[in-house]
Amino acid sequence: MSLIELVQHAQDKILFMAYSFTDDDLAQAILNRASEGVVVAGVLDKSQALSNKGGEYTHLLENGIDVLLDGNRHGMHHKVIIIDERIVVTGSYNFSNNAKTRNDENSLILHNQEIAQLYLEEFDRVWEIAED
């Protein structure tokens, strides 16, 4: 199952932490799930979100997604999506058009609630220090 398909099948919650997020298709899949009542929240790397051409930060905000900028003064390099508190997508894969079309990047899809809990704890930590 592709990343888009995993997002499209989310039932309750999608949480993400992203260094780079310029993938229009992924953003639209997330917006579609949010419009169906799925809770969505994310944290983006501040330097990337404010400088990437075609970045999704403003698009997500304008469409009601609860998205913050990281509070780590050295940068946040996560590439994680947590789906329904039981599926974790992680790896080197940035949520970007370059990752999708040009770069050699990898993703792990972990269907494990215990591992998801560890990532949820990290999401909470990152969220706590994030900026509006």
DSSP string for residues in 70-92: ---TT----EEEEETTTEEEEES
From the candidates 13, 25, 59, 84, give the one annotated as an active-site residue: 84
Rounded-to-integer distance, Cα 41 and Cα 46, Å: 15
Among this protein's residues, is 77 annotated catalytic? yes
Question: Hey, which bits of 1-132 come out as E strands?
Answer: 13-18, 39-44, 66-69, 79-83, 87-91, 107-111
Rounded-to-integer distance, Cα 89 and Cα 17, Å: 10
From the candidates 46, 78, 79, 100, give the one annotated as an active-site residue: 79
Please identify which residue in the block is written with the tokens 């970007």. 96
Among this protein's residues, is 124 annotated catalytic? no
Among this protein's residues, is 84 annotated catalytic? yes
From the candidates 77, 78, 104, 124, give the one annotated as an active-site residue: 77
Active site residues: 77, 79, 84
